[in-house]
């Protein structure tokens, strides 16, 4: 496992350490996304009881911020994206730190190796992040459909009167 | 056969190489000489595909790609090893990527230079780093070994020993293209000299033929570069003249 991990980062880079950081970022992003569901859940419950004009207002102006986390990114998603972006830069930079190891990497018979090692782990991190965001987004939508009053649902989901 | 055909390279407006053509058959030790900025490093980088160029470079008639790049190795004074890895880890990396890696040559050269196997190369001395760079280039199993000032920072005893070892270990299928300023040191060691001046190939000399004509590498280089032996005297005379005027 460790050996395979070492082959996914530029030679000499601490792949295990970076993967550990990615796990932590995934966990924090997950908590961040789930944490956003609590006020969303409470707001939906409150509005379900009071409904009417207030719900319409909330529905149009506030709900999208919760339901579409991609539009208003939670802080941990931004932090994770910054970290992964910085790692891509650092990986390419590592080929030129202390030597010109990029000369060796660029003359390997497998020409993809140079970019593969620089990008593999950050892209895994990015994929994990996308899954977390997608799952929590799906949970947000499910929660909304479960709790929102009928007037807040698209017509196809409303019971015919 | 490594063939360089009409290779030119510009850095902005400056011409680093202009219409350079020559070929390298197997089994030669070739010196690549020229002043700083003559284009030696650029030529090597062009051969290895590390920089773009105009012209054509082929290996046995085929362009250099991932399919045949392993037949070329490179040792550079800039160093191309991984500083955080030790010798053993480099060996593993090279074995994984270069199928013809010569294990026993690697061990023999490591022992010859008395290089540490477990210390990250980045923490070794400059001389040791140069030595390790050449160990990797010679052990890769390449047919063409390109060396760009590989001994900068090594003491003269180390260099002399190394030339002897190199002569002893190279096989008939291996060609070395050696770029260096140390003309006098390598003149007994190279069989052919390529002379670059301001990006142009101004000489391609078979040194055994030159020897028969009574010429050595230094005299060939002096002639090719228009070296004026009397310029030192002229300069000293001029300085002496200044003193007298004062």
CATH of the domain at B85: 3.40.50.300
The verdict on residue A48 lying in a domain is: yes
User: What tens digit of pLDDT does each residue of B28-83 get?
Assistant: 999 999 988 899 999 999 999 999 999 999 999 999 999 999 999 999 999 999 99
Strand order in the sheet with B14-24: B14-24, B2-11, B54-59, B62-63
Q: Would you call A118 an interface residue with chain B, using a CB distance cutoff of 8 Å?
A: no
User: What tens digit of pLDDT does each residue of B202-236 get?
Assistant: 999 998 888 888 888 888 888 888 777 677 777 77
Half-sphere exposure of B192 toward its Cβ, with a 13 Å CA cutoff? 16
Closest to B24 measured CA to CA, from B9, B43, B50: B43
Are A107 and B74 a contacting pair at CB < 8 A? yes
The verdict on residue A92 lying in a domain is: yes
The residue of A104, A105, A117 whose CB has the most chain B CBs within 10 angstroms, and thus the best one to mutate to test that interface, is A104
For residue A125, pLDDT beyond 70? yes
Q: Given this model, what pLDDT does residue A161 score?
A: 46
Q: Which residue has the higher pLDDT, B55 or A34?
A: B55
The verdict on residue A58 lying in a domain is: yes
Q: Given this model, what pLDDT does residue B120 score?
A: 96
For residues B169-173, give the mean pLDDT.
90
Q: Would you call A17 an interface residue with chain B, using a CB distance cutoff of 8 Å?
A: no
Q: Given this model, what pLDDT does residue A151 score?
A: 62
Cα–Cα separations (whole angstroms), residue B161 to A128, B116, B131: 55, 19, 12
Chain A residues within an 8 Å CB radius of B81:
99, 101, 104
Range of A75's domain? 14-150
Binding-site residues on chain B for chain A (CB distance < 8 A)? 48-50, 65-67, 69-70, 72, 74, 76, 78-85, 89, 93, 97-98, 120, 122
The verdict on residue A155 lying in a domain is: no
Q: Which of A15-19, B128-132, B154-158, B185-189 has the lowest mean pLDDT?
A: B154-158
The verdict on residue A70 lying in a domain is: yes
Cα B110 from Cα A1, distance rounded (Å): 30
Number of structural domains in chain B:
1
Range of B240's domain? 2-245
- The DSSP string of A65-127 is HHH-TTTS--HHHHHHHHHHHHHHHHHHHHTTSSS-HHHHHHTSSSTTHHHHHHHHHHHHHHH
Q: Given this model, what pLDDT does residue A80 score?
A: 95
pLDDT confidence band for A71 (50 / 70 / 90): low
Angle at B194 between CA B190 and CA B196, to 5 degrees: 140
Are B83 and A11 a contacting pair at CB < 8 A? no
For residue A83, pLDDT beyond 50? yes
Task: Give how far A27 is from chain B: nearest CA, Å.
Answer: 30
For residues B150-160, give the mean pLDDT.
75
User: What tens digit of pLDDT does each residue of B103-120 get?
Assistant: 999 999 999 889 999 999
The verdict on residue A7 lying in a domain is: no
Chain A residues within an 8 Å CB radius of B128:
none
Q: Given this model, what pLDDT does residue A146 score?
A: 77
Of A11, A108, A113, the CB nearest to B82: A11
For residues A68-96, give the mean pLDDT.
86
Q: Given this model, what pLDDT does residue B35 score?
A: 87
Q: Look up residue B199 and give its two tokens.
A: 């990006």
Q: Given this model, what pLDDT does residue A68 score?
A: 56
Burial (Cβ within 10 Å: 0-12, 13-18, ≥19) of residue B173? exposed
For residue B244, pLDDT beyond 60? no
Number of structural domains in chain A:
1
- ipTM score for this prediction: 0.88
């Amino acid at each position: 496992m460790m050996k395979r991990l070492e082959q996914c980062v530029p030679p000499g880079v601490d792949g295990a350490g970076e993967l550990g950081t990615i796990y932590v970022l995934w966990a924090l992003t997950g908590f961040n996304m789930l944490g956003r569901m609590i006020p969303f859940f409470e707001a939906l419950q409150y509005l379900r009881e009071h409904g009417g004009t207030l719900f319409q207002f909330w529905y149009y102006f506030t709900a999208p911020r919760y339901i579409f986390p991609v539009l208003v990114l939670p802080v941990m998603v931004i932090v994770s994206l910054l970290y992964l972006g910085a790692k891509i830069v650092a990986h390419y930079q590592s080929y030129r730190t202390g030597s010109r190891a990029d000369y060796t990497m660029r003359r390997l018979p497998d020409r993809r190796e140079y970019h593969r090692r620089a990008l593999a782990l950050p892209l895994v991190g990015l994929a994990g992040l996308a899954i977390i965001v997608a799952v929590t987004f799906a949970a947000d939508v499910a929660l909304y459909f479960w709790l929102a009053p009928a007037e807040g649902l698209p017509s196809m989901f409303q019971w015919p009167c | 056969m490594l063939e360089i055909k009409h290779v030119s390279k510009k850095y902005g407006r400056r011409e680093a190489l202009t219409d350079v053509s020559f070929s390298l058959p197997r089994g030669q030790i070739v010196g690549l000489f020229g002043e700083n900025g003559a284009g030696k490093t650029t030529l090597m980088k062009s051969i290895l595909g590390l920089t773009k160029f105009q012209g054509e470079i082929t290996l046995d008639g085929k362009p250099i790609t991932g399919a045949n790049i392993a037949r070329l190795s490179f040792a550079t004074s800039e160093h191309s090893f991984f500083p955080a890895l030790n010798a053993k880890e480099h060996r593993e990396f090279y074995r994984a990527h270069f199928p013809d890696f010569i294990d026993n040559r690697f061990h023999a050269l490591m022992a010859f230079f008395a290089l540490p196997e477990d210390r990250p190369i980045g923490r070794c001395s400059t001389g040791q780093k140069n030595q390790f760079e050449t160990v990797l280039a010679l052990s890769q199993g390449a047919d063409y070994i390109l060396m760009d000032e590989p001994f900068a920072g090594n003491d003269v005893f180390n260099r002399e020993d190394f030339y002897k070892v190199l002569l002893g270990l190279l096989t008939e299928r291996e060609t070395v293209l050696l770029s260096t300023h140390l003309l006098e040191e390598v003149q007994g060691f190279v069989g052919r000299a390529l002379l670059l001046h301001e990006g142009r190939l101004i000489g391609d000399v078979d040194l055994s033929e030159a020897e028969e004509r009574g010429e050595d590498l230094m005299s060939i280089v002096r002639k090719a570069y228009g070296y004026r032996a009397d310029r030192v005297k002229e300069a000293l005379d001029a300085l002496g003249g200044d003193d007298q005027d004062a």
